[in-house]
Structure 1
Amino acid sequence: MDVGYMLDRVEPRLQTLRSDKEALAMETGETWTYGTLNEKANRYANALLDKGVQKGDRVGILMFNSLEYFAVYFAVAKIGGIAVRINFRLETEELAYILNDSGSTVLCFDSALAERLEPIKDRTSVKSFISYDRDSGITPGWAEGWDVLEKGDQTLSRRPVIEETDPVMLMYTSGTTGRPKGALWTHRNTIWFAAMQSLKWNFDGNTIGMTTGPLYHVGAMEDVALAVLLSGGTVVISKSGNFEIRRTLDVIEKKRVSDVFLFPFMIYEMLKLSDIGSCQLDSLETIYSGGDPIISWAIDRLYDLFPKIGLVQVYGLTEGTPIAVSLDPSDAKTKGYTAGKPMPFTEVKVIDDRGEPLPAGEIGEICTKGPAVVSEYWNKPEATAKTFVDGWCHTGDLGVLDAEGFLTISGRKKDMIRSGGENIYPVEVEDVLIRHDAVQDVAVIGIPDPKYIETVCAVIVTKPGRSVTEKELLEFIEGKLARYKKPRSFVFLDELPRTASGKVQKFRLREEYKHLREPQVNS
């Protein structure tokens, strides 16, 4: 079985799903039925085949949230291609790296992002640029218009044989070496992960699930959305940019959403609304949230205001099962400090530095195993061998299992920063800042933030006799890093604290400067 099965069910050869059932709905009002989504996917698939895309070829998707995003993804899946879903917040050189590393030959992109692509259009592996230009109406001269895809035939007759072990998606995650790694998802990973969620949370044709994140992220598509589609329900899609919790709540009310994924900072914004108690959320049954644990005051306030809404906290990672562990609503008040228990068909263990399992109560590295754990990083054999061992994904996160099997996240073995639902690895930012000719040494850490959980803080040591301002450093990194990776705070020191072996003691820096942007929480 392959990912295309989710849509094939409306075709005569299967006919197990009504073609007139609503599949997708943008928060702005546009909707597609399963029949329309399948027809669009087939058209796009035929057009890609006409362009020479073959099984195993990579097709980049650099688009804002839209109904068409799903059609492109399914089109690539149906012809055995690999969808490279790219973060639209990345800057020019970051985009060039991903396109070339993946070897993408076709790129479907939003025309609003053309300025970032034009400088690299002749130095990537991409042979065909296809511009989605609904909002701007402008297709750059070096790209083809979206009509190229729309003109494809609606019947897909040239479909190759696809095995469940064939790759379907390449998701780049921030890397510890300063370059992101591509986690390679198979059709098996995708179908199993969707089925695991559907089984766990009883999704069916009546489920209306809303995704609030960017579709390039597993937290927006693989989490909840694809599971709802597999179950024959309806997916409501938030538009990209300028997130407003009040607007999201309005959509939940209007579309009668039953299940929604909200990142922690979104929940905090919701609970701080002065009129939150008067919001009519009677259709909403479950809120899913991940990335960071929900602080206790928010859990208490949510249940005080909306006792009928269940809160499901989740933990996972792109390559090691995006939702590997979840906390049931019934356990939220007594075990709210934990991430919960493993999902169906998922195993979790905590190991010591020798790789041996630790008993309950002892902190070690979290490892996950199951059908949604990927088997490799794209063209990264050394990183693959280090992370994926005997079917287990070594997450790099620290945690502890209690006697009842609940997992508590204790910290991060790697110095990853979690900001607004995004992963930021300090080495990426350090690699840019150290290039400024006045900077001698730099360490990047995450510090608490009232909205985004953590933000980037750069600790700078200048060269003898040199000085540099925050403004100058921000101007220097402009265009070199995505906006969410840029430091929001700077600290200037004479030297960085280091161990005898020369390693920067970032834990000391985090402790010293954790109050720079300390959250002010109103209970």
Structure 2
Amino acid sequence: MTSIPPHRNGGITPVSKRVMNLSHFLRQAARRHGQEIGFVWGERSWTWAELDRRVDAMAAALADKGIGKGDRVLVQSKNCNQMFESMFACFRIGAVWVPTNFRQTPDEVAYLAQASGACVMICHADFPDHARVVTGALPAIGFVISIGRSDFGEDYDTLAEAFAGKSTPTAAVDHDDPCWFFFTSGTTGRPKAAVLTHGQMAFVITNHLCDLMPGTTHRDASLVVAPLSHGAGVHQLVQVARAAKTVLLSGDRFDIDEAWRLVERWRITNLFTVPTIVKMLTEHPSVDAHDHSSLRYVIYAGAPMYREDQKHALKKLGKVLVQYFGLGEVTGNITVLPPDLHEPEDGPDVKIGTCGYERTGMQVSIQDDQGREVPAGVTGEICVCGPAVFAGYYDNPEANQKAFRDGWFRTGDLGHMDEEGFVYITGRASDMYISGGSNVYPREIEEKILTHEAVAEVAVLGVPDRTWGEVGIAVCALRPEAALDEQALLAWLDGKIARYKMPKRVIFWDALPKSAYGKITKKTIREQLEAQNCLSSENKPPA
């Protein structure tokens, strides 16, 4: 590597970029607000001091089993206090937290274990098949810790009690040391592990506090209505940084009435969710039955929000909506539309359809196919640079090569920027679509459908849906003499992929259109669906 001339680096000798271990946020909260409630789940609650002691104990237990800096810890769990604690236990010993979407199938989770190089698994007792499939497929998984008593692993709470009062030194970390593998498929294929680092996440936390929920303190409280494995986990890490309590729903089913009761009981000031959930929360009668005047920030991301839904939510809640745009690879830090720019009524100065302006410390560039920045108002690919951009995909140089160009991260989303710097998303360069806030990648579903003996060809496309934002339509061609109908195929597919990836409809054609090179052309399929008035989940093809 060529060294930097002294006159260009200010004469500074490069040294290790030591940064704070993220688990220190919990230690700080315990020192300053130890006897205050930090976490609530159902009728149980834990103080910051109790949480810190439990994290110390689990960190010591993991270290006793040989887990240390750089080791990957796979976590398959629904929301619970143990899952929340496992994040900080991993951080404290310098290990990498690798949470899964708990709705994924055992085979899908086994792939994540393999792709991440995990050597230990923490698995909720409700998922014995996941533990069996993962350990059966990966001998490298040395042991399993069970959240709740089970037949497949050591009980988490028993371990925490056994190591109570013990601790292990907090691992020293550099800026680029990984702390979290955030699984995302980017723009194509199977899931990839986006590497999040201690230094990057310290910036992300600061940025969230600056742009999304300024003024947050230990007097605030946050309600969790999404899995802690992804965006909600980032959001709750931000709460810990300011000792704001986290409140979980009592069960894994989304109970709207309970959500509003918890808002009233715990004087909830912020929550993170997706547009679908905002719509459900504000259209349910419970919104008028419980006091929600404590809310200051209702943060939504993951998909565009229909303008009428925005206006309805604003009328119910007041000007508390905050929108952000950002992929997992940028940990949500691309743009922000704060409460004061969410207007309840349309007007000449209201920027309808924007996802906001650049986040503090981040820069957005709208680029053409050659990487040249395009003028204001011209559509191109949304690219971003700044400290919130991830370190790259783990063990995937090909994906990294495609994801970056001249230092810019390429989001794969298409859009434009106006003269004032507001960004508008107009489409996606990839086939990926967003259903209920979760990214869905058609190729994975197509590959699974093609394993059905009757299916010869398939294409899955995302189409608009009023409830979920987008859902999938599968267009299939059958093998000669084969017979299959929509309900039979959906029943066969159920359980083979996560439910949020399930197509809402299946359409059968004699053959799928192809290019001169024999490749199925989704553009032509979409055009034909549009001609048949089928580009909506509600419309059926003509008989």
TM-score by length of 1: 0.92
For the 8 Å contact 1:47–1:149, the answer to whether it is kept is yes
Query: 1:336: Cα distance to partner?
Result: 3.8
Query: 1:239: Cα distance to partner?
Result: 4.5
The aligned residue for residue 425 of structure 1 is 441
Are residues 276 and 143 of structure 1, via their aligned partners in 2, closer, same or farther at CA, if it must alter by over 3 Å?
closer
For the 8 Å contact 1:176–1:427, the answer to whether it is kept is no
Once residues 33 and 529 of structure 2 are traced to their aligned partners in structure 1, the CA distance between those partners, rounded to angstroms, is 54
Which residue of 399, 422, 426 maps to 1:406?
422
Residue 388, structure 1, aligned to residue 409, structure 2? no
Query: 1:389: Cα distance to partner?
Result: 3.4
Once residues 328 and 10 of structure 1 are traced to their aligned partners in structure 2, the CA distance between those partners, rounded to angstroms, is 27
For the 8 Å contact 1:211–1:238, the answer to whether it is kept is yes
Once residues 504 and 7 of structure 1 are traced to their aligned partners in structure 2, the CA distance between those partners, rounded to angstroms, is 51
For the 8 Å contact 1:447–1:510, the answer to whether it is kept is no
1:304-343 equivalent positions in 2, closer than 5 A: 304-307=315-318, 309-333=319-343, 334-343=350-359
The aligned amino acid for 1:420 is G
The aligned residue for residue 114 of structure 1 is 128
Which residue of 109, 112, 119 maps to 1:95?
109
Moved more, 151-160 or 476-485: 151-160
Query: 1:3: Cα distance to partner?
Result: 0.3
For the 8 Å contact 2:462–2:472, the answer to whether it is kept is yes
For the 8 Å contact 2:263–2:291, the answer to whether it is kept is no
Q: What per-residue deviation string (whole Å, max 9, x for no partner) do you get for residues 431-454 of structure 1?
A: 011121211110001122232111
Are residues 274 and 46 of structure 1, via their aligned partners in 2, closer, same or farther at CA, if it must alter by over 3 Å?
closer
The percentage of aligned residue pairs carrying the same residue is: 31
Which residue of 134, 142, 152 maps to 1:127?
142
Which residue of 150, 172, 176 maps to 1:165?
176
The aligned residue for residue 521 of structure 2 is 504
For the 8 Å contact 1:185–1:374, the answer to whether it is kept is yes
For the 8 Å contact 2:113–2:134, the answer to whether it is kept is no
Figure out how many residues of one structure are paired with residues of the other and give that number.
506
Which residue of 297, 301, 317 maps to 1:290?
301
Query: 1:214: Cα distance to partner?
Result: 0.4
Q: What per-residue deviation string (whole Å, max 9, x for no partner) do you get for residues 91-143 of structure 1?
A: 1211111111211111111010012332442221311011111xxxx411x42
For the 8 Å contact 2:176–2:391, the answer to whether it is kept is no
The aligned amino acid for 2:258 is R
- Secondary structure of 1:9's match? helix
For the 8 Å contact 1:311–1:328, the answer to whether it is kept is yes
Are residues 215 and 10 of structure 1, via their aligned partners in 2, closer, same or farther at CA, if it must alter by over 3 Å?
closer
Are residues 259 and 158 of structure 1, via their aligned partners in 2, closer, same or farther at CA, if it must alter by over 3 Å?
closer
1:67-466 equivalent positions in 2, closer than 5 A: 67-124=81-138, 125-133=140-148, 138-140=149-151, 142-146=152-156, 147-174=158-185, 176-200=187-211, 201-202=213-214, 203-217=216-230, 219-222=231-234, 224-239=235-250, 241-274=252-285, 276-307=287-318, 309-333=319-343, 334-466=350-482
Query: 1:8: Cα distance to partner?
Result: 2.3
Query: 1:148: Cα distance to partner?
Result: 2.2
For the 8 Å contact 1:41–1:74, the answer to whether it is kept is yes
The aligned residue for residue 25 of structure 1 is 40
Query: 1:153: Cα distance to partner?
Result: 4.3
For the 8 Å contact 2:37–2:47, the answer to whether it is kept is yes
Moved more, 471-480 or 122-131: 471-480
Q: What per-residue deviation string (whole Å, max 9, x for no partner) do you get for residues 436-491 of structure 1?
A: 12111100011222321112211111122222122332343243211211222110
Q: Structure 2: which 5+ residue stretches go unaligned? A: 1-19, 344-349
Query: 1:175: Cα distance to partner?
Result: 5.3
The aligned amino acid for 2:223 is M
TM-score by length of 2: 0.89
Query: 1:167: Cα distance to partner?
Result: 0.4
Q: What per-residue deviation string (whole Å, max 9, x for no partner) do you get for residues 36-77 of structure 1?
A: 111111100000000000210001111110111121110100
Are residues 150 and 185 of structure 1, via their aligned partners in 2, closer, same or farther at CA, if it must alter by over 3 Å?
farther
Query: 1:23: Cα distance to partner?
Result: 1.6
Query: 1:420: Cα distance to partner?
Result: 1.3
Are residues 176 and 288 of structure 1, via their aligned partners in 2, closer, same or farther at CA, if it must alter by over 3 Å?
closer
- Secondary structure of 1:227's match? helix
The aligned residue for residue 521 of structure 1 is none
Residue 513, structure 1, aligned to residue 534, structure 2? yes
RMSD over equivalenced CA pairs, Å: 2.0
Q: Structure 1: which 5+ residue stretches go unaligned? A: 519-523
For the 8 Å contact 2:115–2:192, the answer to whether it is kept is no
For the 8 Å contact 1:447–1:517, the answer to whether it is kept is no
Once residues 76 and 452 of structure 2 are traced to their aligned partners in structure 1, the CA distance between those partners, rounded to angstroms, is 30
The aligned amino acid for 2:522 is Q
Q: What per-residue deviation string (whole Å, max 9, x for no partner) do you get for residues 208-255 of structure 1?
A: 1222100111x2111x32112112221222355321222211111111
Query: 1:368: Cα distance to partner?
Result: 1.5
